[in-house]
A and B are shown apart, each in its own frame.
Chain A
Amino acid sequence: MSSTPIVLAQALSRRFGARRAVEGVSFELLAGQSLALFGPNGAGKTTLMRMLAGLLRPTSGSASVAGVALRGGTAARAQVGMIGHHSMLYPALTAAENVEFAARLHGLPDAANVARHALDGVGILDRAAVPVRALSRGLQQRVAIARSTVHRPKLLLCDEPFGALDESGARALAELLQRMRSGGSAIILITHDIAQGLRHATHAAMMRDGQLAGVEPTSGVAPADYAARYRALCGLSDAA
């Protein structure tokens, strides 16, 4: 793997009026690494992710993706994929049309075939011609995953991606994440499920009040111990 960081965040901060949503976040992630990000609601995880996606301008600080500064606009956005709270799909279009549209916006040649391949990757090629509004929430999530990864991004940002998925969907996503890491992508995974996050990530970090508590490798970390530290950080009792 190349040692050039896929993500390099330096003192990233974002305010909304007087409120500090993210404050001085710095970290780096190399190719093949994945970071599980934990934190209570309102900790700033989604704001951080939206800044790294280029959807939100930092108030201060800087970040680059695959060596391209986020301020680089289209060149930086071409390297990023995002699975967010919302599917970002058009309900009136079919699964294939949604993914094909994303492929066209990324300038991929033979967008129709690329889209079919992406749908096959998440196990729903047989539903390619079905309008998204007619799909269950879990299947919509799979289409959203195909849409977000159709261009093989260098950085994949996932905000609770396992939420609506059934067992086979979760397995397909886990395999996809593994394939992407093997292919040199980096992944940031936001989740409230500590065991799941640690299982799918090479590194883990906690956020609270917009600040990142150190990034550490997940190898050798017991989920129960990490969960206890997480509860302590959040000020929760052990019984919670």
Chain B
Amino acid sequence: MPPDTISAALAIARKDLAIEFRTRTAFLSSLVFALLAIVIFYFAWDPTAIPALDLAPGVLWVIFTFSGLLGLNRSFGIEQSERAIDGLLLAPVSRQAIYLGKGLANLLFVLAVQAIALPAVVLFYNVPVSGGFAVVAAIAVLAAIGLVAIGTLFSSMAVNTRLAELLLPMLSLPFFVPIVMPAAQATASLLAGRPVAEAAAWLKVLLAFDIVFVAACALAFPYTIEE
């Protein structure tokens, strides 16, 4: 009896995370990139010209976006050596299960990088840790869902090309804009000490794009991997 979509997705996510846990290549490169970017932004910043709290949201979302991309490249890259992707496609599981499994593993990967990068930004930029900060963490999770939904789809498309590492950002970044824009706006509002209600409109936009991108990418995915 073939497994249901959720069981198959969990098996695929578990396998991807086990491979990443063994190799740690993508996680370490994403983490090193994130921490280096924080340090470079910090030393390139003139504190007399721009207040730290004005700079922090931009730094945070540049780091989240690009460190996420580094990890997403690996998502279908691990399926290419020895054509393991054929093994996945031969299995009696729906194509959506493959997408969801890959997406889940990518989401946990991106969240793990964020969990380290966010406190580092707080530390470097003296971001006040208040009630609004918990909402910023929630925004990071919501945005990660949207970024991963898009990145997983384009990773499956880009991996079969010679310029996969160049093509993935070129395809993904325009679609990241509707996710990163409300996330950065809501973050800026909250870090400036404004009430959560003021960021609510941006959060609704972010949630709406999450739903649209997850649904659209899951539906489009089978067409990107079938010959």
A90 and B91 within 8 A (CB): no
A147 and B18 within 8 A (CB): no
A55 and B89 within 8 A (CB): yes
Residue A213 CB within 8 A of the other chain: no
B26–chain A nearest beta-carbon distance, Å:
12
Interface size on A, residues (CB 8 A): 33
A105 and B84 within 8 A (CB): no
A132–chain B nearest beta-carbon distance, Å:
9
Q: Which of B18, B23, B226 contacts A57 (CB 8 A)?
A: B226
Count class of interface residues, chain B = 20 to 34
Interface 9-mer from B75-83, B125-133, B137-145, B172-180: B75-83
Residue A106 CB within 8 A of the other chain: yes
Q: Which residues of B contact A104 (CB under 8 A)?
A: 3, 7-8, 11
Q: Which residues of B contact A102 (CB under 8 A)?
A: 87, 91
Contact mask for chain B residues 141-175; partner A; CB cutoff 8 A; 1 contact, 0 none: 00000000000000000000000000000000000
Interface 9-mer from A78-86, A165-173, A204-212, A231-239: A78-86
With A57-B226, A86-B82, A91-B81 as contacts: A77 and B19 at CB distance below 8 Å: no
Contact mask for chain A residues 78-111; partner B; CB cutoff 8 A; 1 contact, 0 none: 1011101111111111000100011011110000
A interface with B by C-beta (< 8 Å): 50, 53-57, 73-75, 77-78, 80-82, 84-93, 97, 101-102, 104-107, 131, 147
B interface with A by C-beta (< 8 Å): 1-3, 7-8, 11-12, 15, 18-19, 22-23, 78, 81-84, 86-94, 226-227
